[in-house]
């Protein structure tokens, strides 16, 4: 039986419209993908990352995704496809997603930003999303 | 005579209500502080960081400050006092500022987040700002 | 009333002999120090970091502290005093603590290692701990 | 003729049961792979990394591998396959290897840890290693 | 019509003999590759990175490329193929390119340096460049 | 009795005119400062960092110092005072030192560069060094 905290995390996943992105039971693929190594990892993702942190008040879902993408790109972790998709689901415009990544330029330099934009470009191409440019 | 690009950067500084934070001519302290080493550094800050990047459309001023703070904290650069102050000026609530830093926890861990919160705490204490907590 | 998860985290803190290092109720100073900004931060530290992660099986307390110190030093975060003290409490020898930091040399270079050793040196000096050297 | 230091490094490679993993003369693949660019690089690996550092007293071979893996994963360098294999050779259990990587979560966040676990998973799958989970 | 700053950046690209590496109009591939997401990104690359920074006095072209490669490798960004090629064009010897990367060893450790050398090796192999070794 | 390798490292220290910066026996302060924790650390500094790496052919002393400073600043390690002093000793001009740090801007962003420049400024002020600016 799922714990209360797990349920709370699942509620957040539903609020972020993320359950269908994962498997029917709502497990994060990312967590479920390591069931052989550490079955509790999925709980940490659902309970801590989603229940505690994404479920926290203070900033709204769009801001949460912007902060997430910025944190990763600035660290040189370009694997933000999942977060770009989440951003679209919670209502970020393509211009906001691109604008946030480019805003990192003075703070972390071109190479990390360009690597981040490649991930954005991949998702936008897959989903047929276009950016309004002047 | 200031270039057109420099003027554009200065306009952005005014829009962000940052001119008074710097010296009357609107020079960034951060840039002006290195006039002896590199007088052009101030131009890069005003023209590129402010004119080009902060002046760019896509995300709004509040989002720009959130992305800035997240980029720095996630890199382990805790010197965000200036950006916390800018955030307050452009209308971020104390809860949003704290919420953004805490949201970085699953992406960069506790030590970087706690170092970032220390900088927030310092500015809030100086300015008598309190966070609404339950 | 403290949640079951919070209680589990507190049990781990006791197992690591860390409660007296914090205030009587066992709150992490690190968490309690941010009560004005985010009272829930302490819960995240106690429940997630201690209850979930330090309370996890797999590696023993000494290994946990070694991994913690290595993670921080390698990232260029030299604030490991607290973890050096924890290491001593759970039975790491001074030689193991120094040996672990020095072992990072080929993987992260001299500057990060020397910064880490400064923190070790500070704690050892405060506690009158000497390292057996040939 | 090999130097005394080189011999010492080779002895450590034997102690870590690593010679057969490399070519018969005991050269590190990693070093030998760059013979065209810098033949001395192999000496630095054998003499400094193995002779000086792995050959150093203070922590035991299992601890050395744990510290190595933690240093790399925390820096966002997920290429730890070689070290996972070394860990198994020196007697780390699968649970210890997984436990050490997961212990990094509060200190460096999920993305780096998940990237590290992918490398662990790859080696365990190749070698038919299973993790005991409750 | 291109701005004066854009022209200056293009002049620098010509000085670095980089225009043919990019497309005939002299656009950076790196910038042009993101025209769909952010057409202004190319301007930032040409105007800021090339016009302002590469066009700056103080260090000569060879030193600029060495500093560039060192900055990237030390951050764990191994995508330096483009800069290795630029280095060759501005007159760096193969020994200087390899020597610079290896010099980073004590400051950032083996893994980042080895990843950087792989990129060097790839370019040297493609261009039939050999390193003089003793 | 000092080993042959130690002697080689000491020769390099003399070539870099660094012995007087350290104590008469030529020990690195940086190494000697940790004699209580790890007396062999000094050997690693002298033998590996100086004998092997600084003593290596390929790039000249000025290039070595530029690469060193770039590696550190790009990692967000601003403790480059010692290297700025070494740079001056081996003949780097003030303009080259400043130019190298500023060249890192597009690759690692403003905050790391500004932190590096503060260290440069400190040394230049102490030594009464002025930068020629237009």
B to C CB pairs, distance under 8 Å? 37
How many angstroms separate the Cα of B10 from the Cα of each of B2, D78, E46, E59, F134?
Answer: 10, 43, 22, 29, 23
CA distance D117 to chain A (A): 8
Of F69, E7, B13, E42, nearest to A105 (Cα)?
E42
Q: Which of D107, D110, D111 sits opposite B110 (nearest CB)?
A: D107
* Subunits with 3+ C-beta pairs closer than 8 A to B: A, C, D, E, F
Say whether residue E102 is in contact with chain C using an 8 A CB cutoff.
no
- CB-CB neighbors (< 8 A) of A29 in chain D: none
Can you give the pLDDT at residue F21? 53
- CB-CB neighbors (< 8 A) of A44 in chain C: 48, 52-53
- CB-CB neighbors (< 8 A) of D40 in chain F: 52, 56
The torsion angles phi and psi of B130, rounded to 5 degrees, stand at -115, 150
The verdict on a CB contact (< 8 Å) between C107 and E106 is: no
- Residue-wise pLDDT tens digits, F56-83: 999 999 999 999 999 999 999 999 999 9
CA distance B122 to chain F (A): 19
The verdict on a CB contact (< 8 Å) between D34 and E124 is: no
Say whether residue F34 is in contact with chain D using an 8 A CB cutoff.
no
Where b means 16+ CB within 10 Å and e means fewer, A56-81 reads: bebbebebbbbbbbbbbbbbbbbebe
Q: Which of B69, B74, B96, B110 to mutate to test the interface with C (most CBs of C within 10 A)?
A: B110
CA distance E52 to chain B (A): 8
ipTM of the complex: 0.92
- CB-CB neighbors (< 8 A) of A95 in chain B: 57-59
Q: What CA–CA distance (Å, rounded) separates D61 from D15? A: 9
The verdict on a CB contact (< 8 Å) between B44 and E44 is: no
Say whether residue B102 is in contact with chain C using an 8 A CB cutoff.
yes
Q: Which of C37, C44, C75 sits opposite B121 (nearest CB)?
A: C37
- CB-CB neighbors (< 8 A) of B113 in chain D: none
- CB-CB neighbors (< 8 A) of B115 in chain C: 79
pLDDT confidence of F23, banded at 50, 70, 90?
very low
Q: What is the pTM (predicted TM-score) of this model?
A: 0.94
Q: Which of E30, E37, E44 sits opposite A98 (nearest CB)?
A: E37
pLDDT confidence of C5, banded at 50, 70, 90?
confident
Say whether residue C99 is in contact with chain E using an 8 A CB cutoff.
no
CA B107 centroid distance within chain = 21
Overall average pLDDT of the E114-119 stretch: 96
Say whether residue B6 is in contact with chain E using an 8 A CB cutoff.
no
Residue identified by tokens 């101030």 is B42
pLDDT confidence of B29, banded at 50, 70, 90?
low
- Please list, in sequence order, all residues whose beta carbon lies within 8 angstroms of the beta carbon of residue E119, skipping any fewer than 6 positions away: E78, E79, E80, E81, E84
Say whether residue F38 is in contact with chain E using an 8 A CB cutoff.
no
Can you give the pLDDT at residue E26? 41
Say whether residue B111 is in contact with chain F using an 8 A CB cutoff.
no
pLDDT of C79 strictly over 90: yes
Q: Which of C106, C107, C109 sits opposite E107 (nearest CB)?
A: C109
pLDDT of B44 strictly over 60: yes
What interhelical angle do F61-74 and E94-103 show, nearest 10? Answer: 50
- Residue-wise pLDDT tens digits, B104-115: 999 999 999 999
pLDDT confidence of D13, banded at 50, 70, 90?
confident
The verdict on a CB contact (< 8 Å) between A44 and C48 is: yes
Where b means 16+ CB within 10 Å and e means fewer, F79-88 reads: ebebbbebbb
- CB-CB neighbors (< 8 A) of F34 in chain C: 114, 117, 121
- CB-CB neighbors (< 8 A) of B124 in chain C: 36-37
Return the SS3 of A2: coil
pLDDT of F26 strictly over 50: no
Poorest-confidence range of A46-60, B1-15, D115-129, E25-39? E25-39
CA distance A76 to chain F (A): 11
Can you give the pLDDT at residue D22? 47
Can you give the pLDDT at residue A106? 98
């Amino acid at each position: 039986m799922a714990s209360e905290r797990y349920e709370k995390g699942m509620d957040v996943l539903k609020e972020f419209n993320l359950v269908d992105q994962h498997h029917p039971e709502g497990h994060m693929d990312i967590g479920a993908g390591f069931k052989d190594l550490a079955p509790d990892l999925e709980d940490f993702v659902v309970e801590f990352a989603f229940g505690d942190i994404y479920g926290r008040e203070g900033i709204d879902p769009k801001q949460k995704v912007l902060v997430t993408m910025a944190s990763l790109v600035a660290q040189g972790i370009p694997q933000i496809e999942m977060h770009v998709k989440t951003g679209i689901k919670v209502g970020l415009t393509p211009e906001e997603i691109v604008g946030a990544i480019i805003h990192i330029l003075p703070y972390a330099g071109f190479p990390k930003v360009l690597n981040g934009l490649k991930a954005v470009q991949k998702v936008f191409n897959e989903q047929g999303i276009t950016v309004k440019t002047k």
